[in-house]
Copies of this chain bind each other. A is one copy, B any other.
Amino acid sequence: MGAQPPSKRAAAPFSVTPLAGMPLFAVGMSVAGEIVAAARRQKITLGAGDIVVIAQKIVSKAEGRVVRLGSVTVSAEASALAERSGKHPALAQLILDESSEILRATRAAIITRHKSGHVTANAGIDASNVEGGAEDSVLLWPTDPDARARAVRAEFSALLGAAPAVLIADSLGRAWRMGTVGTSIGSAGLVVVDDRRGETDLYGRTLQATLVGVADSIAAAAVLAMGEGAEGAPAAVVRGLAQYVEAGEGKGAASGVRQLNEDLFR
């Protein structure tokens, strides 16, 4: 049996509600404040058992992570990467700056390990939904997504007197499969991976799939509800999964990244 009583993980319904009508974000705006206001307009009082999923793009904009490609000084290494990949040299420079390691660079894609630990295409840099409309503006991930999640949660706590869990999500591609799914890149107060090793199944046999990707599953659900593009909502409230909310900060989304030398699919 695991450390948690089984009843805590009993099958139970949950809901995902996108928060609509939020303003366009710019540097210095309060993500937590705008989410609390949007929730109130939808008659939702955020509580300690809720999970607030936030699109990476608004966290990045509030942090001031919009960069104009024209402002970037391109190194020789970035020029070479641009040549290999067919990317804009300034974008190649930003990808290098944001990454701890380049895993693959071809004309199909640049796959890197972001400094936060997550493995993704183009270091998570997004050229859509950046205000200003200029063709040469791109949006970087938050510098430290787990730290941003903790900060947003602390602000919720101050505003609400209660601390819902916070999950920062981005739509990421996956190995072997078509289409992006919401993936957790930062979290606070949330079980990221539920370790059920040692627990038994209906027949008393030890469970095989004993590490459950909780935060990524929640991110997938929320990002689907939030939608993409013009009608997208940049945040959602997940209600009914309080068993995965932690009073403390939790391990953070980076703890859900597999060690490079352990990767089974590499």
Q: Is the CB of B207 within 8 A of A214?
A: no
Of the candidates A104, A202, A258, the one having the most CB atoms from chain B within 10 angstroms of its own CB is A202
Q: Which of B13, B18, B221 is close to A17, meaning CB atoms less than 8 Å apart? A: B13
Instruction: Give the complex CA separation of A10 and B225 in angstroms.
Output: 9
Interface stretch (choices A72-80, A88-96, A169-177): A169-177
Q: How many copies does the complex hold?
A: 2
Query: Does chain B have a CB within 8 A of A182?
Result: yes
A209 part of interface (Cβ distance < 8 Å): yes
Specify which chain B residues have a CB less than 8 angstroms from the CB of A11 in the assembled complex. 18, 20, 225-227, 231-233, 236
Measured in the bound complex, the distance between the Cα atoms of B176 and A256 in whole Å is 9
B-side contacts of A203, CB under 8 Å: 129-131, 133
A143 interfacial by beta-carbon distance below 8 Å: no
A160 within 8 A of B: no
Which residues of chain B are near A123, meaning CB under 8 Å? none
Q: Is A45 located at the chain interface by the 8 A CB criterion?
A: no
Q: 4 smallest A-B Cβ distances: which pairs?
A: A179-B213, A221-B221, A11-B18, A175-B265
